[in-house]
Amino acid sequence: MEAHVKKSLEEWKEEIGDILVEIDKEYEDTKRELQIYSYKFSITKQVIQSTVNEEIIRNIRHLYHSPFEERFKELKEGIRDLEEKKKVFQMFIDKIDKVKGRQDPTSAVLQQNG
């Protein structure tokens, strides 16, 4: 593989690696928030099940349960989207490595050993 092509692919791989780092950070932040809302949603659900007063139940649903449930569902969808993004951008890195390895046998050996 010509040096300028190899250099360009390596720069592109680094750029994609930076994107992956950002996706991982966002994934971890979302995962932490999802955990919080999972607890909040579960707690409000349990409280509602243990309450007999319909007016109190309506208030709890309005103030807590419904907003927590909505946010929980949004975060779960966000996690799925981020997992898909991670998979797609990892494919870029894998394909770049594969192309570089196929074109440069020495590089493939170094990657396997390193």
pLDDT in tens, 80-93: 999 999 999 999 99
Q: What is the rounded average pLDDT of the residues 27-49?
A: 97
Reported as a single tens digit per residue, the pLDDT across 53-84 is 999 999 999 999 999 999 999 999 999 999 99
Owning domain of residue 96? 27-106
Q: Is residue 10 part of a domain?
A: no
Reported as a single tens digit per residue, the pLDDT across 94-110 is 999 999 887 655 444 44
Categorize the per-residue pLDDT at 1 as very low, low, confident or very high, splitting at 50, 70 and 90: confident
Question: Comparing C-alpha atoms, which of 6, 4, 18, 5 is closest to residue 107?
Answer: 6
Q: Is residue 79 part of a domain?
A: yes
Q: Is residue 11 part of a domain?
A: no
Q: Is residue 47 part of a domain?
A: yes
Judge whether 64 and 40 are in contact, CB under 8 Å.
Answer: yes
The total domain count for the chain is 1
Judge whether 37 and 45 are in contact, CB under 8 Å.
Answer: no
Q: Is residue 83 part of a domain?
A: yes
* CA 22 – CA 24 distance, rounded (Å): 5
